[in-house]
Amino acid sequence: MRALRPTRALGPRGPADGGPDARVLSRVRWSLTLQLAAAVTAVVALVGGLVHLAMAAGQRGDAERDLRHVIAANAVENAPPCVWMFAVRDGRTVRTPNAPADLPVQADLRAPGTVVREHRVGGISYLVRTEHRGPDVVQAALDRRYQIQERHRLYGALAVAELGGLLAALATGRLLARRAIAPLAEALDRQRRFVADASHELRTPLTRLHVRAQLLARRAGAGGLGDELRTIVADTRQFGEVIEDLLLSARLRPRAAGGDAVDLAAVTASLVAAESARAETRDVTLAVVRAGRPCVVEGVESALRRVVGALLDNAVGHTPPGGRVEVAVTHRGGRVELTVRDDGVGFDQRDAERIFQRFSRGTGGEGRRFGLGLALVREVVESHGGTVAATGRPGAGATFTVSLPAALHRLHA
């Protein structure tokens, strides 16, 4: 006789282990961190923008004031540094010695009145002021390269401050978010431990009740009392399945890495055989397509059996008499794919995500396709590094596809 293998311990799972709760908490932490970083970045950018506007306006005002003073107090031949002066007298242009050849700006010399404009001449930015002084026209051009260099140095300092503020905000935000979320993470961990402990404590007395109800139903035989006892047996069995689902959900580790080599095809074949009797009583054809070779994955066999069993229960329970359920396990691109297809009541494709939520229920069938079972299916599959998807149409059946990483190296070990 083959010795029974002990069930691999799944261990408690909490938010710190990377399960769904942990992923939600991590997203919340990062959201708070990024919001704080964005706020600090926006404040620094706003301050930088205001400083830029103030500096640009100040430089422009200083430049205009300097040009007014230069034109009023200096001769063309004695212009101060960074300023070039020109005067048109009797149709002849007088220039500051060594003035750029591209100056003066002829358009401003011909314009009436006083003109103050910014021009880019010869690749250099100038602020140019042109005045009419009796018969003469005087123009002064201030080279703004040094002012622009000052602004660039300011931009560099602001960029460094922006980067430093962003890094400080990320570090501070991460710390504050972790502290803010810590009580919630502890509460979720306590809740999960409570579910695990309560489910474990309920399982033993419920098993005893189920066994005693079975014995009483057998002794009562046929009749009213026997039928009521058999109803109690069925109810306690369903209650036990819910307890098992809660216990597995509460204790399932987020990753089954380092688990056992499990032949998913063999597991599926055994469960299909066990479900055949129920399918026959409902006049449902249950067919299985074999891969022709082992389909080995790495994980926890008891958890994977729960996945296959839940999908079979849902398919048979939602298929009317005369219907058909097809189960296939195949290799596809380095992965093992389990497909459970039925031609039963189906579902609206818009509910394809909702049906995997806890305690979300449909309207037809006898399986638990919209209960805790499918939520547990997704948790188990994702904990094994896989994915599960559902497609269907109302009245046209449904297809559930589970994809898991193949572990062929474990098969040959």
Reported as a pLDDT band with limits 50, 70 and 90, residue 146 is confident
State the pLDDT at residue 402: 92
Q: Is residue 246 part of a domain?
A: no
Residues above pLDDT 90, as percent of the chain:
5
Q: Is residue 98 part of a domain?
A: yes
Reported as a pLDDT band with limits 50, 70 and 90, residue 400 is very high
State the pLDDT at residue 272: 87
Indicate whether 279 and 395 sit together in one domain. yes
Q: Is residue 338 part of a domain?
A: yes
Reported as a pLDDT band with limits 50, 70 and 90, residue 403 is very high
Give the pLDDT mean for 64-82. Answer: 85
Indicate whether 70 and 181 sit together in one domain. yes
Examine the pLDDT at 3 and tell me if it is beyond 70.
no
Residue finishing a domain among 141, 162, 189: 189
* Residues 340 and 312: beta-carbon distance below 8 Å: yes
* Residues 392 and 406: beta-carbon distance below 8 Å: no
Q: Which of 172, 235, 209 shows the shortest CA–CA distance to 29?
A: 172
Residue finishing a domain among 189, 219, 237: 189
d(CA 246, CA 253): 14
Indicate whether 22 and 148 sit together in one domain. yes
Q: What is the pLDDT of residues 197-249, one digit of tens each?
A: 666 666 667 777 777 777 777 777 766 677 777 777 777 776 666 666 666 65
CA dihedral 57, 59, 60, 66 (to 10 degrees): 140
**Which residue range(s) make up the domain with 101?**
13-189
Reported as a pLDDT band with limits 50, 70 and 90, residue 327 is very high
Indicate whether 37 and 184 sit together in one domain. yes
State the pLDDT at residue 151: 85
Q: Is residue 249 part of a domain?
A: no
Q: Is residue 225 part of a domain?
A: no
Residue finishing a domain among 189, 212, 245: 189
Q: Which of 248, 252, 216 shows the shortest CA–CA distance to 231?
A: 216
Give the pLDDT mean for 70-81. Answer: 83
Encoded tokens for 271: 């469960």
Total domains in the fold of the chain:
2
Indicate whether 261 and 165 sit together in one domain. no
Indicate whether 173 and 296 sit together in one domain. no
- Of 254-258, 310-314, 317-321, which range is least confident? 254-258
Indicate whether 263 and 181 sit together in one domain. no
> Which of 23-37, 349-363, 377-391 reaches the highest mean pLDDT?
377-391
